[in-house]
Amino acid sequence: MSKLHVGIDVSLDSHHVQFMDEVGQGLDSFKVSNDQPGADTLIRKVLETTQARQMDAVVLGMEATSNLGWHLAHYLKNELEAYEPDLQAQIHVLNARRVARFKKGYDTLPKNDRIDAWVIADHLRFGRLPQAMTDTAQYEALQRLTRTRFHLVQTITRDKTFFLNQLFLKFSGLRQDSPFSNTFGTTSLAVIQELEPEQIASMPLEDLVAFLVEKGRNRFDDPEETARELQKLARNSFRLDKVMKDPVNLSLSVTLSVIQHMESEVKRLDKAIAKLMRAIPNTLETVNGIGPVYAAGIIAEIGDIGCFRNHSALAKYAGLVWSQYQSGDYESEETSRMRTGNRYLRYYLIQAADKVRQHDSEYAEFYRKKYSEALKHKHKRALVLTARKLVRLVFTLLTTKQLYTPPDRRR
């Protein structure tokens, strides 16, 4: 079978295209605009070249560069089949890191769009490619929501760290040793927003207790003890210069407003994700701890489970694999996790694993075992290993479509 290899270097305004035959000879090199007329021009040139050279198939590839090539990839897939049904067309969205490593084999190549397209075409010619793009519109629609949620959660985490840094300026003791279980809880935020450390230190104890009871809706086991601890922290805290007070308070207020708004938007996304998930049958939600949001995050990134040979291939795709360091008779006992893989899938697997180990005795025991074995970063290491164990279950459930049976119900 004679193939045309098409390397496409995508960018915001235009794409550089390289045609290459099976022996590595460049056939054509040109630019097309990043719009529908540009895509039509590319299709026309592909059809002209394959017909003139009596080629049976075309393999097109581009790097996964943000969303700049998304429209082109899907347009090519749909339109090539419509224009020429007999032409076997495959479209591959390539990992940019793998393309960069492939290019290192050519140590004298310069860096420009034409050369990058040439490298992609040559990479296609050598093979060992990822799964060709399939019709995954349903999964990609879900992906828009789960990846947006991931982005917001990461932003909230960063903003909370920024908030806590500002809090140290206003009330250093509260940042160091808060008597509240959650710094972002209702009562804690009321103290931060409505009181100054000097006020707390000088308030009659009964007034501070009344304030905490009111803001905490009488949920404290011992509000008087909390008030005493709060006053102790206030007396020992640094005093902020008067010139700094208003700017710091405004910074805290604005940051908190942004955090609360984003948290409300995450809830909107969760509702939309749950609604979309009702149209995607799955058995992941039969695992206690994996709700529709985490199931959606996992399914959206995996897509068709048939693309993975086994759970090891799925774990590698998620980046939940560990490197090996061996030479001669020596093999290191300590290995690090490989810094590759789909970060979105890895995030949702780890979040799901954290919930599952709180509800499932088998995963709870596994987590405790790995926690006790770890020498440092105990929770993080144990949780990542628990996520790797969860990959096996995810692969099995998505492959067999069977319901999950908890350990206490097995015979």
Collapsed DSSP state (helix, strand, coil) of residue 109? coil
28: β partners: 19
Cα–Cα distance for residue pair 122/21, rounded to 1 Å: 9
Q: Quick check: 228 and 208 in contact, CB under 8 A? A: no
For residue 128, the model assigns a pLDDT of 81
218, 223, 227, 229: CA torsion to nearest 10: -130
Cα–Cα distance for residue pair 82/328, rounded to 1 Å: 56
Cα–Cα distance for residue pair 394/299, rounded to 1 Å: 9
CB burial string 315-342: b at 16+ within 10 A, e below: bbbbbbbeeeeeeeeeeeeeeebeebbb
132, 133, 139, 142: CA torsion to nearest 10: 120
For residue 135, the model assigns a pLDDT of 67
Q: Which helix (H) or strand (E) holds 31?
A: strand 26-33
Q: Answer whether CATH 1.10.357.10 is correct for domain 3-133.
A: no
For residue 130, the model assigns a pLDDT of 78
Per-residue pLDDT of the chain (411 residues; tens, 9 = 90+): 689 999 999 999 999 999 999 999 999 999 999 999 999 999 999 999 999 999 999 999 999 877 899 999 999 988 987 887 888 999 999 988 888 889 888 878 888 889 999 999 999 999 888 777 776 778 889 999 999 999 999 999 999 999 999 999 999 999 999 999 999 999 999 999 999 999 999 999 999 999 999 998 888 889 999 999 999 999 999 999 999 999 999 999 999 999 999 999 999 999 999 999 998 889 999 999 999 999 999 999 998 898 899 999 999 999 998 765 444 444 445 566 777 789 999 999 999 999 999 999 999 999 999 999 988 889 999 999 999 999 999 999 999 999 998 887 776
For residue 331, the model assigns a pLDDT of 46
Where exactly are the structural domains of the chain? 3-133, 141-274, 286-409
Backbone φ and ψ of 279, nearest 5°: -95, 0
94: β partners: 63
Cα–Cα distance for residue pair 334/323, rounded to 1 Å: 9
Cα–Cα distance for residue pair 118/245, rounded to 1 Å: 59
